[in-house]
Amino acid sequence: MQFRALWRTTTFRLTVLYGLLFALGTLALLGMVYVQSAVFLTRRVDGILKTEAAGLARSPRPGLRQRVKEELLLNGDRTNIFALFAPDGTWIAGNLGAMPSGLRVDGAPLEIPSTPSFPASARIIARRLPSGEVLVVGRDVSQLQEMRAIVGSALILSGVSILLVGLACGTALGIGPLKRLQSLQAAARDIARGDLTRRMPAGRRGDELDMLATTINHMMDEVERLMSEVKGATETIAHDLLTPLSRAAIQLRRLQQSPSADPEELAHVTTGLNELLDRFHAILRIAELDARQRRAGFARVDLAQVIAPIEDLYQPLAEAGGVRLLTDRGPPALVEADPKLLFEAVCNLVDNAIKFAGGGSTVRVRLGPDPAAPRIIVQDDGPGIAADKRAAVLQRFYRADRHRPIPGSGLGLSVVAAIVRLHGFELTLEDADPGLRAVIDCRAHSA
Amino acid sequence: MARVLVIEDDVETAREIVACLVAGGFRTKQCLDGEQGLKLALTDRFDAITLDRMLPGSDGLQIIKAMRAGGVATPVLLLSALGDVDDRVEGLRVGGDDYLVKPFAPSELVMRVQVLLRRHDPAPKTDLLLRVGDLELDLVTREARRNGRSIELLPMEFRLLEFMMRHSGQLLSRRIIFERVWEYYFDPGTNLIDVHIGKLRKKIDEPGAPSLIKTERGVGYVLNAV
């Protein structure tokens, strides 16, 4: 995985930014502790030095040399400096060999490194005595310096480690989303290359990437359905439309060659061509329904009213086919719909049921029992449709049994599906055992 | 002989329509431009007009509105590639009398123009009794009789017979019958209309005699006095 790719991920950048801010905060805190403690300790040392120097300076001159020696004996010459210098800087007494350069008499305290006579770094001050001699008092401050060094290294170490931890966390946190993004990209590339069955990997966490993947997958389902419909339609046009067209062409050619046109044969050609026109109309109708955004004809309608005319309209057809048609309107069920379109959908379902259930069967049209979940149910006890073919029959042109001589465009169910889609309803085909149950679920979905 | 004004911008389609109408026994006047068509409709007398819904520069619906505003009541058959229910409703709302979706069968066009002409003939509407041969339909008592024999009809059968008798002698397609009698504007599918006609035939025909309703195969039905 490339760092640049990782760097571009939001997670990585945010984590590193947080790490950086945290490191800066910690550095500021430690820096404050360091400065405060160092200053406090230094001032304390300086105060002690001033008090000692003032005390010694008040001692009578003749005994001063002896006082210096006594002080060294009393306080220890390893941790304290006491020294006396002549006005010209010549050593008189004490454990400091020479006046350190840079030490200003009656000036500010000075920190000096270890010397052969005092093997530790020390903080010293110089006071001029009334005699003109110079008194130097000092203290070992190596502990103070060690403390400073410890705090300083703690500062650096903690800053660096926080930065490293930030980077590591950023990388760890960034790699996950980056890997998922890359797998999404890979899936998208496969789809772009034409593999419409490929889907985005979606986890169960339901985070933003999963939501995106799920949305894209829904979209791909629809695209795949449309593509397979287009493919199916193209293939079917080749079979279903070309066959009657070429048949008509042959018939017309024969008529052209014959000396007198047989009206029977002419009627035959006309029937064939009219069926073709009907088929084209159905294709256009589905396209129109699918493209339609307007819901101009929509109103609150009672499903019982919608299915009421079915019996009058289809009873003769059912009788002619030896099918028993029963309608049970049930209680009123109100839905938001275009009643004419919904009626057309039900007509198509009833027409199909009568056509495919066959003689001796019963077709029932009824509403679902629950008015809160309004449904239109068209059920027959005919041969039904095999479970694996129920989805296929909703595709354009599909006919479950192509070899049965049943008239029709093969588009009836597609028209139903398009009308149902327009309403945001749901069409399901179920096994009625025996027979087929077509259900239009009229609960408002996503329309 | 009835005169039909054909307003259609596509030369090929216009030629087809004219050929159909001439073959159907009409005289025609062809016009390729909406504006000129409107002028002709306002100044000349025609028995019917076929009007393309979408013309370059002007909408067919605007032409109907202008014609109706100009006091011309000539029946208009709108021809359109837009077959949506809403388009149809709008076409009829602004004053169109019928709507035919392209592509159409030539016979369908001729039939619809004939039906339009008969509908605009004011005489039959005032009739209280329709008569075709020895078949009678009393619109007041809502009774049908043939040769004095009373025929029981269901309400839908009555409406179907009334429509066919009003247009007796005219060839009527299944689609026209479905639209005019049931007032549904979708493909009734398979043989829905055929069985309704079949039932009506059984009721009105005399046993052994030829049927009053003849089937024109692949086209439609015609009700004639035997």
Separation of alpha carbons A135 and A57, rounded Å: 8
pLDDT of A446 over the 60 cut: no
- More confident: B194 or A275: B194
- Rounded to an integer, what distance in angstroms lies between the CA atom of residue A140 and that of residue A119? 9
Angstroms from B197 CA to nearest CA on chain A: 10
The pLDDT score that the predictor gives to residue A155 is: 80
Residue extents of the structural domains in chain B? 3-119, 123-223
Pick the CATH number of B3-119 from 3.40.50.970, 3.40.50.2300, 3.40.50.1700, 3.40.1670.10: 3.40.50.2300
CA A102 to chain CA centroid, Å, is 67
| Three-state SS at A335 | strand
Shortest alpha-carbon distance between residue B133 and chain A (Å):
27
For residue A402, is pLDDT > 70? no
Give the closest residue to A120 by CA, choosing from A93, A101, A138, A98: A138
Residues A18-45: pLDDT tens digits? 878 887 888 888 788 888 888 888 898 8
List beta partners, residue A61.
none
Of all residues in chain A, the one with the smallest CA distance to B105 is A274
Say if residues A353 and A383 touch (Cβ distance below 8 Å): no
Residues of A in contact with B218 (CB under 8 A): 267-272, 274
Q: What is the residue-averaged pLDDT of chain A?
A: 83
Q: How far apart are CA B144 and CA A136, in angstroms?
A: 144
Q: What gap in Å lies between CA B121 and CA B175, rounded to an integer?
A: 22
* CATH architecture for the domain at B123-223: Orthogonal Bundle (1.10)
pLDDT per residue as tens digits for the range A78-130:
888 998 998 888 888 888 888 888 888 888 898 888 887 788 888 999 998 88
- Tell me the backbone φ, ψ of residue A258, rounded to 5 degrees: -80, 145
CB-based contact A267 B84, cutoff 8 Å: no
Judged by CB atoms closer than 8 Å, whether chains meet at A408 and B190 is answered as yes
The top-level CATH class assigned to A299-441 is: alpha beta
The pLDDT confidence band at residue B135, using thresholds 50, 70 and 90, is very high
The model's pLDDT over B23-67, given as tens digits with 9 standing for 90+, comes to 888 999 999 888 889 999 999 999 999 998 888 777 888 889 999
The answer to which of A98-102, A272-276, A435-439 has the lowest mean pLDDT is A272-276
Helices (H) and strands (E) counted in chain A, each on its own, are 11, 12
Q: Cβ–Cβ contacts within 10 Å for residue B81, how many?
A: 12
- Closest B-chain CA to A408: B190
Alpha carbons A417 and A434: distance in angstroms, whole number: 23
Torsion-angle region of A399 (φ positive above 0: left; ψ -120 to 50: alpha; else: beta):
beta
**A292 in reach of chain B (CB within 8 A):** yes
What's the confidence (pLDDT) of residue A410? 65
CA distance B190 to chain A (A): 6
Q: Is A388 in the B-facing interface, judged by CB distances under 8 Å?
A: no
User: Whole-model pTM?
Assistant: 0.61
DSSP B9-68: S-HHHHHHHHHHHHHTT-EEEEES-HHHHHHHHHHS--SEEEEESEETTEEHHHHHHHHH
- What residue type is B161 in one-letter code? L
Q: Which residues of B touch A340 (CB under 8 A)?
A: 85, 184-185
Q: Report ipTM for this prediction.
A: 0.79
Which of B16, B80, B82, B85 to mutate against chain A (most A CBs within 10 Å)? B85
Confidence category of residue A403, pLDDT binned at 50, 70, 90: very low
The pLDDT of residue A404 is: 45
CB-nearest to B219 from A270, A294, A351 is A270
**A250 and chain B in contact, CB less than 8 A:** no
Contact A318, B199 (CB under 8 A): no
* Closest residue in chain A to residue B193, using alpha carbons only: A317
Instruction: Scan residues 135-194 of B and list those with Cβ closer than 8 Å to A.
Output: 154-156, 182, 184-192
Q: Select the residue from B187, B215, B221, B222 to test the A interface by mutation, using most A Cβ atoms within 10 A.
A: B187
Q: Which residue has the tokens 């454990």?
A: A95
Residue B215, chain A, CB below 8 Å: the answer is no
What is the domain partition of chain A in residue ranges?
A: 1-195, 208-280, 299-441
Amino acid at the residue B219? V
